[in-house]
Amino acid sequence: MFFRQLFDPASSTYTYLIADDETHEAVIIDPVIEQLDRDLKLIREHGLTLMYVLETHVHADHITASRALKQATGAQTAVSSDCNAQGYDRMLEGGNVILFGREDILVMATPGHTSGSVCYLWRDRVFTGDTLLIGGCGRTDFQNGSAESLWMSIVENLFRLDEQVLVYPGHDYKGRRVSTIGEEKQFNARVAGKTREEFIEIMNNLNLPLPKRLQEAVPANLAGGARLPDPHGARQMQVAREPGNSLRSVAAQQLATLSASGSLHLLDVRTPGEFASLRIAGSINVPFDRLDPAALLARFAADAPLYCMCQTGTRSQLAADRLRAAGFSNVVHVDGGTNAWIAAGLSVIRGERKVISLERQVRIAAGLLSVLGVIAGALIHPAGYALSALIGAGLVFAGVTNSCGMSTVLARLPWNQAHV
Ligand SMILES: N[C@@H](CCC(=O)N[C@@H](CS)C(=O)NCC(=O)O)C(=O)O
Ligand SMILES: [Fe+2]
């Protein structure tokens, strides 16, 4: 059995390299980009063929070497599908099995630290990421974390493993390297002897400072991690700045995590009327029908992180494409827009005005015109039917091209402006 526990002192992260002795096929778990040379050297020296780079979750405190290792070795990268990440080869579900040589690793879905956290069970040991740390556990206050889910994952899932199973965590901040399920059941300060309610109370009152590199690490890791460093330049990582390596969309909850640490610009591309009745704190209204990328380039640096948002995610995608085409290199759109933000229970600022959404206005206008066309066709002149047909064709065109002329027209009407 080939097994190495490796450590990154800057982030206190453990990386694990394991391999089949006979075939030399290997898997690496949670590699850190700053340790790329170390890991590649080890892989080379032992004649290993790296088959998979496995992430226990989208990390907030360091950038993964996932993509760089894939580039260097041809390995497949993998992360849980519940991370909503992009740029990985394989999206994992609980119960999946990773095969390498004659070995297999079982994926255990263990949400809580993040919604997409998993543990990897291999032989007599489990790689717990930040779900279960030695004497503690990962925090649950960002990236869709949940103390309730973490309790379930630890108590109902990990603690059902044999007590002899070795626990290899994702971090240790005090130099400890390994524990067992039995020891954690007995001594883990957050869980042992605690009720579910006590655990939730502890987790919801940790008040830890945000990881120092969160703003840089989360978008980079959601996009698959850093590329191989340029061999000619300084050993500077190229993250999220070049086409094909940049984050293109985030879930509402991910945006909330990222905006908590500042430094991104949230462009709300809905109409001024929609914006006035409901907005997210710190967002800037840049109505889609008046989007002027050149003016925005004068206002923001070309590599500034711009997050586009609308009500459902359609206009924001189009806006993001136009901004990218104009030269912005770090444009992300928010999946599901304000609808998803509200559904995730995140806070909004509500204004006095109650303008119904542009999307509903389009539905009402299209429906009314179709009905009018049929009435006119039946009672006045058959040509009236043409209006209904035209509206139908327009809706098909809007669906196929993902653009909507009617919403552009409606957006200009007075009630969709901020001050009527
Ligand atoms: N101080 C570290 C962050 C430490 C941290 O928040 N670690 C996360 C894991 S990424 C955690 O869950 N810590 C649990 C704890 O400290 O109890 C940094 O700035 O990067
Ligand atoms: Fe973490």
Q: What is the pTM of this model?
A: 0.77
pLDDT tens readout for residues 47-78: 999 999 999 999 999 999 999 999 999 999 99
* Atom of ligand 1 minimally distant from the CA of 11: 20
Sorted by where each begins, the domain ranges of the chain are 2-203, 248-350, 358-416
Which of 11, 15, 61, 114 to mutate to test ligand 1, by most ligand atoms within 8 A of the CB atom?
61
pLDDT tens readout for residues 267-292: 999 999 899 989 999 999 999 988 99
pLDDT at position 242, please? 45
pLDDT at position 230, please? 67
The yes or no reply on domain 2-203 and CATH 3.40.50.150 is: no
Q: What lines the ligand 1 site, CB under 6 Å?
A: 11, 60-61, 113, 130, 136, 138-139, 171, 208, 211-213
Report the chain (420 residues): mean pLDDT per 10 consecutive residues. Answer: 97 98 97 97 97 98 97 97 93 96 96 97 97 98 93 98 97 97 98 97 94 92 86 48 65 86 87 91 92 92 93 91 92 93 92 76 91 92 90 88 81 70
pLDDT at position 233, please? 45
pLDDT at position 353, please? 65
Indicate which ligand has the atom closest to the C-alpha of 139: 1
pLDDT at position 351, please? 86
pLDDT at position 418, please? 64
Nearest CA to ligand 1 atom 2: 211
CATH number belonging to the domain at 248-350, selected among 3.40.50.10490, 3.40.250.10, 3.20.20.70, 3.40.1000.10 = 3.40.250.10
Indicate which ligand has the atom closest to the C-alpha of 141: 1
CA 259 – CA 280 distance, rounded (Å): 11
CA of 211 to the centre of ligand 1 (A): 6
